[in-house]
Structure 1
Amino acid sequence: MKSALNLCLLLLALQVQGQYIFDLSDKQRKQKIPYSPDHSQAEDENLAHVKIAPSNADFAFSFYKQAREEAGNKNIFFSPLSISTAFAMLSLGARSNTLNQLHKGLAFNLTDMEEPEIHKGFQHVLQLLNDPRREVQLNMGNTLFISDQLKLLPKFLDDVTYFYYSEAISSNFQNSLEAIKEINKYIDTKTHGKIVDLLKSLDSDTVMVLVNYIFFKGYWEKPFNNLYTRDDDFLLDANNSVKVKMMHQNKGFNIHRDENLSCWVVEIPYKGSATSLFILPDEGTMQQVEDALLKETVYNWMQSLKKRKIYLDLPKFSISSAYDVKSLFEKMGVTELFSDQADLSGAAVKTLLKVSKAVHKAVVDVSENGTEAAAVTLIEVVPLSAEFPPPPHIRFNRPFLMMIIDKITHGILFMGKIVNPAKED
């Protein structure tokens, strides 16, 4: 059995007061993007970021379902784009079956797309997400902390720099305490103090740490008035509840009732090119809705939205979630990368490498100015003769699903399930 030096992947996601939404409709595909304001729909279809969007969506829902199995009654919140970007970047150094497993785990089919197109797609996503002309604050980046003992192959270093705009920072892993301090300081800075002291320890033979981070801050197009925020009950289950700060609005929103899945869907727009999607299953149907989470399902929801005035209740909350991505990936069939059979021969000179640790942490804050997650209950009254039906009352007062997706890149930035908005971790 061969020995291998270790790589560590740290994947970070910050969502503060805002989000984007997933929409593959023709209308949204015609939306202007910063680099080509007059492009046609046909041209958009050929853009690199559009080509990888379906695979990234498939990966997001696949990862969610694995996370759900381990979460139990805990909140779920993560950035699938952060995870897929990090592993796609690492795949530049993977070979043979290790590479094949990575492609399959990330939902990329090389019969539909050539490998260079994958990396070109992520390159375009990074360009679009980091465009300083956006109205919202959105930053995503990658960094390699590299031991003095490790010599990366020039092509790998060139490719991660060119496609993923990755920084390469020399780090003294022989002094693990200093290396941990350096990496944690970097994470603290990039996440604006939201994630601190994430890295607790390093394996003694670690030679590289890959960090991916995403930070988002946006604001509601129509903010909630904090004068209407009040204490209310959030129903954890049939017998238990917690007190939350519940926000309120009485305005027109795009809503949809999915009778097949027994859930309500609400879209809430943000300033700029941002919007939010919230899904509230009927009592007892959460698993049914979760099982149906596919890109086709979300597409159908978005196509079916109709504007209507509603009474909306939405909880304030701040939560974080952490995941052992290594464990979840192994359950998704990506095993070789973490074993002594790993083939990362395209990354380093005469050095056998494997991934020893891959962790992901995501944090979200929701307030009157903006939010990132919510859920919906609608009581619909059908009048017998009234010309205008009264506005339905939609209350996010029990567990709900959330998605945050960028309309420009069609990429899912964040997704999750809020089971208990009063519990931070």
Structure 2
Amino acid sequence: MKSALSLCLLFLGVQVQGQQQVQQTPVPADQSQADHENLPYVKLAPSNADFAFKLYKQIRDDMGDGNIFFSPLSICTAFAMLTLGARSNTLRELQKGLAFNLTRMEEQEIHEGFQRILQMLNDPHREDQLNMGNALFVDSRVELLQNFLNGVTNFYHAEPVSSDFQNLPQAIKEINMYVETKTHGKIVDLVKSLDPKTVMVLINYVLFRGSWESPFNSLKTRDDDFFLDTKNSVKVKMMHQNKNFNVHRDEKLSCWVVEIPYIGNVTSFFVLPDQGTMKQVEDALLKETVSNWLRAFEKRNIYLDLPRFSVSGSYDVKSLFEKMGVTEVFSDQADLSGMAKNLLLKVSKAIHKATVDVRENGTEAAAATVLEFIPYSLPLSPPPHITFNRPFMMLIIDKTTDGLLFLGKIVNPTAEED
């Protein structure tokens, strides 16, 4: 059997708190709607959503009842970079696993779509703080092919970093420091160990730090019960608001959907299934479902109760992908011949870690006191009271790209680690 040096693929997604209101990016006057829909990043959005929900269901099936939180966009971007060097069946498996629609998009357009997404997410003029980036830690024994290097730097703005993988403790330290710095300390010690044969590490990171468009008043936060199931509960800090939100009651799926926007171009959907209907809602998670919610939103006054929470998720993406039919890239049959000269490479490890911290002001590192005065009148009937005191779902969406930045299920707000 031919020997193969291992390519260690690592990626992470981190989210810091809150959420933000998003203004839909207007289509320029000289650009028709048809032209807009043909832009690569617009055509890519449905594929990325399909991948996100497919991966969510695989994680759900693997984990059973437990918190879920991950960045679909981070994982998809990392593996999309890998397709630049994949060939033959390895490439086809990756493309299918990532839900790329090759009847609608050329390979070049896929990478152009990610290129534009990265540009828009990292726009310095954004009101929210959203950063996404990529890096390649490469051993001196590896000579990357110029086409691959051009692709990852031009399309994905990846930073090539020279690293000595013959000194694994030092390489691990360098990688973890890079990740910790890029995520502002939110992801620490991502890499616990490396295969001794590792010669390259690919990293993607996402950092989101957002402030609620309408912050919760911390003086109204109080201890309350969160029901893990019909018999067990935990105490949480429950935040409260009585304001106008985009709300939809999905009678077919038996759930409430509330949009809580951030300042800037990011928003969040909080989905509260009725007791016993979580699996029904999860099974229905498709891009069409989210589109239906968007169309059905109605601005209305509600009493909203939402727990303060901080949860993290760590995932073995290699195992998840193999169960989704993406196997060859992790095996000795991997064809990554488009990456490096005279080396047979395979992916030996794929790790993803994400964290979310939701607070009254939407951000972790800042505090604010807000005194808000609004006119009121006696309603004809009381506003609905929507209390997130049982397992719920959370989606964080960038509206400029229609990108699903983060996706999760909160089963126990007091359990910080999965």
TM-score bracket, shorter-length normalisation: over 0.9
* Aligned with 1:334 (options 315, 326, 330): 326
- Is 1:185 paired with 2:209? no
The letter of the residue matching 2:8 is C
- 1:419 Cα deviation (Å)? 0.3
* CA contact 2:21–2:260 (8 Å) conserved in 1: no
The secondary structure found in structure 2 opposite 1:124 is helix
Identify the residue that residue 12 of structure 1 maps to in structure 2: 12
The letter of the residue matching 2:344 is L
Identify the residue that residue 376 of structure 1 maps to in structure 2: none
The letter of the residue matching 1:267 is E
The letter of the residue matching 1:318 is S
Identify the residue that residue 56 of structure 2 maps to in structure 1: 64
Return 340-349 or 69-78, whichever deviates more.
69-78
- Is 1:345 paired with 2:337? yes
* CA contact 2:20–2:263 (8 Å) conserved in 1: no
Identify the residue that residue 395 of structure 1 maps to in structure 2: 387
The secondary structure found in structure 1 opposite 2:155 is helix
- 1:300 Cα deviation (Å)? 0.2
Alpha-carbon distance between aligned partners in 1 of 2:279 and 2:30, rounded to the nearest angstrom? 43
The letter of the residue matching 1:144 is L
Structure 1 unmatched ranges of 5 or more: 373-385
The letter of the residue matching 1:130 is N
Q: Deviations over 1:188-228 (max 9, x none)?
A: 10010111111111111100000100000111111000000
The letter of the residue matching 1:265 is V
- Is 1:308 paired with 2:300? yes
Structure 2 unmatched ranges of 5 or more: 365-377
- Is 1:91 paired with 2:97? no
* CA contact 2:115–2:156 (8 Å) conserved in 1: yes
* Aligned with 1:205 (options 197, 210, 218): 197
Q: Deviations over 1:283-338 (max 9, x none)?
A: 11110100000000000011000011111000001110000000000011100000
The secondary structure found in structure 1 opposite 2:244 is strand
- 1:46 Cα deviation (Å)? 2.0
Count matched residues.
404
Identify the residue that residue 237 of structure 2 maps to in structure 1: 245
| Cα 1:288/1:76, change in 2 over 3 Å | same
* CA contact 1:32–1:38 (8 Å) conserved in 2: no
Alpha-carbon distance between aligned partners in 2 of 1:152 and 1:171, rounded to the nearest angstrom? 14
**Superposition TM-score, scaled by structure 1 size:** 0.92
Return 83-92 or 274-283, whichever deviates more.
274-283
- 1:41 Cα deviation (Å)? 2.9
Alpha-carbon distance between aligned partners in 1 of 2:29 and 2:226, rounded to the nearest angstrom? 44
Identify the residue that residue 147 of structure 1 maps to in structure 2: 139
* CA contact 2:247–2:300 (8 Å) conserved in 1: yes
Alpha-carbon distance between aligned partners in 1 of 2:29 and 2:208, rounded to the nearest angstrom? 23
The secondary structure found in structure 2 opposite 1:164 is coil
Identify the residue that residue 26 of structure 2 maps to in structure 1: 32
* CA contact 1:140–1:215 (8 Å) conserved in 2: yes
Identity of matched residues, %: 70
* CA contact 2:313–2:353 (8 Å) conserved in 1: yes
Identify the residue that residue 412 of structure 1 maps to in structure 2: 404
* CA contact 1:232–1:244 (8 Å) conserved in 2: yes
What value does the CA root-mean-square deviation take over the aligned residues?
Answer: 1.7
* CA contact 1:20–1:413 (8 Å) conserved in 2: no
Identify the residue that residue 382 of structure 1 maps to in structure 2: none
- 1:18 Cα deviation (Å)? 2.7
Identify the residue that residue 65 of structure 2 maps to in structure 1: 73
The letter of the residue matching 2:414 is A
Identify the residue that residue 107 of structure 1 maps to in structure 2: 99
Q: Deviations over 1:125-168 (max 9, x none)?
A: 00000000000111000000001111110110011100000000
Alpha-carbon distance between aligned partners in 2 of 1:47 and 1:294, rounded to the nearest angstrom? 22
